[in-house]
Amino acid sequence: MSLGCVSSIITSRESLLNLQALIAMAVFAMNTCCFQIEEFLLAEACRSVLTLRYHKSSVLESDPVGCYRAFWVLYHMDKQYNFQARSSSVGKAPMLLDINKLTCQAISDLDVGCRIPSVPDSTIDGFNWFMSSIRIARIISIAYDSLFSVTASTKSPDSLLPSVNLVETMLEDWRQSIPPIFRPGETLQRSVLADPHTKEIAIRTQFYYFHLVIALQRMKVHLSSEKQKTDEYLRTLLNAARQIVDLTRFIDVEPYTPVFILTVMPLSALFILFDFIVQSPGHPGTRENLTLLDILSGHFSLLERVSDGTLPGNYLSHFARIARQHFEDFGNRNIQSSGHHSSTVAENLDLANLPAGDDPALSEHTELGDVSLFLANLDIGGFV
């Protein structure tokens, strides 16, 4: 019903009430039912807020606090959306942006001069969600401009690495400013999960953090030329994916859940885990990663079941099947290779004249009694 009022809102004169209506519709359009029009609603809201000049230091309105509050809510939504849907990155050719995307990205940090109002209702258990969401939006904006924009893609790796380190420092400072019960990377407390509104704030906070961590670690892997550092970045990337999987059990598989929480972050974790397994099947943590892939497959299968097939998530279970088959094939190849090596040694040595126990290494290879030990000691050059 509210979408039927969009045409009258965008054709009428801009006002705080109309802006609030657009923002409210954009919030509810973040789910799977209306995500096709989310960009349009955000673009119209951005155009309206800039026309009203709510981003300036002075607002000639009867309710300036309401104006500032509306602006900062929209600022957070705009920065988050555009970072999730970024159209350029290092190593890729610049892409043309359509007029809607250009309009939606119209809020420039350099033009923002309004203060952040006090919103007591947003403080829960000592956590000021309103202020924290604005702060992470600002960090995301800096990350996009300095690392993922078309201009950043023309810079050299040596000039980009300091920017990555700066964003990482800002992100960690933001994480440390959050109370432990909400802090990303920490175990979620039952008290946080009891209330649905508090739970959504906690999950959003966690996912905002890991979303940026994944982006930064991928960037560092792309830029790094040292294997030791690359392995460290990959371990951080894998840990982020694992923690995302752990959080999926708290996601409400419901129509009102935002797409970013319901599908984007779990899907990112799935691709990271799949890539790790395929690239390094002999890694000691592969079995755990396969289990986590199964958990994600269950999440997307449940999503398809609840949506009556509207969201076809069951096919993603094929990734888990392919990864498991690849892991088993890898083990079988190494068993066969070891068996071939054992028979070759037996043909070229007079084992009958070799005293027992004189060559422990040879005994280990010829008996093949403990395949798991062989695989555990196999040097595959993977991640530590």
**pLDDT band of 371, cuts 50, 70, 90:** very low
Percent of the chain at pLDDT exceeding 70: 80
- Does 91 or 77 have the greater pLDDT score? 77
**Strand-pair partners of 124:** 127
**DSSP H helical segments within the chain, as ranges?**
6-11, 16-28, 38-52, 64-84, 99-104, 129-143, 157-176, 190-194, 196-223, 227-247, 259, 265-279, 286-306, 317-348, 360-367, 371-376
Average pLDDT of the residues in 244-262? 94
Q: Is pLDDT above 90 for 235? A: yes
Q: Compute the distance between CA of residue 256 and CA of residue 122 in angstroms, rounded to an integer.
A: 20
Cβ-count burial of 99 within 10 angstroms (0-12 exposed, 13-18 middle, 19+ buried)?
exposed
* Poorest-pLDDT segment among 217-221, 263-267, 317-321, 379-383: 379-383
pLDDT, mean over the chain: 82
3-state secondary structure of 105: coil
**pLDDT band of 117, cuts 50, 70, 90:** very high
Count other C-beta atoms under 10 Å from residue 315's C-beta: 11
At residue 106, the pLDDT reads 62
**pLDDT band of 366, cuts 50, 70, 90:** very low
Q: What is the residue-wise DSSP string for 322-337? A: HHHHHHHHHHHHHHHH
At residue 10, the pLDDT reads 79
At residue 128, the pLDDT reads 96
Summarize pLDDT for 98-113 with one digit per residue, the tens.
434 433 446 889 889 9
**pLDDT band of 359, cuts 50, 70, 90:** very low
Q: Is pLDDT above 80 for 241? A: yes
At residue 289, the pLDDT reads 95
Q: Is pLDDT above 90 for 84? A: no
Q: Compute the distance between CA of residue 178 and CA of residue 370 in angstroms, rounded to an integer.
A: 49
Average pLDDT of the residues in 362-371? 32
Summarize pLDDT for 173-220 with one digit per residue, the tens.
999 999 999 999 998 888 888 888 899 999 999 999 999 999 999 999
Q: Is pLDDT above 90 for 6? A: no
Average pLDDT of the residues in 243-252? 95
Q: Compute the distance between CA of residue 171 and CA of residue 249 in angstroms, rounded to an integer.
A: 25
Q: Compute the distance between CA of residue 144 and CA of residue 141 in angstroms, rounded to an integer.
A: 5
**Maximum Cα–Cα distance across the chain:** 101
Q: Is pLDDT above 70 for 362? A: no
Q: Taking a C-beta distance cutoff of 8 angstroms, is the pair 382, 280 a contact?
A: yes
At residue 115, the pLDDT reads 92
Amino acid of residue 217:
Q
Average pLDDT of the residues in 358-371? 34
pTM beyond 0.85: no
Exposed e or buried b per residue across 193-219, where buried means at least 16 C-beta atoms within 10 angstroms of its C-beta: eeeeebbbbbbbbbbbbbbbbbbbbbb
- Token readout for 130 is 């309103």
Angle subtended by helix axes 317-348 and 265-279, to nearest 10: 10
Summarize pLDDT for 121-138 with one digit per residue, the tens.
999 989 999 999 999 999
Q: Is pLDDT above 70 for 382? A: no
At residue 103, the pLDDT reads 38
Summarize pLDDT for 135-162 with one digit per residue, the tens.
999 999 999 999 998 899 899 988 999 9
Q: Taking a C-beta distance cutoff of 8 angstroms, is the pair 104, 39 a contact?
A: yes
- Token readout for 373 is 């030990």
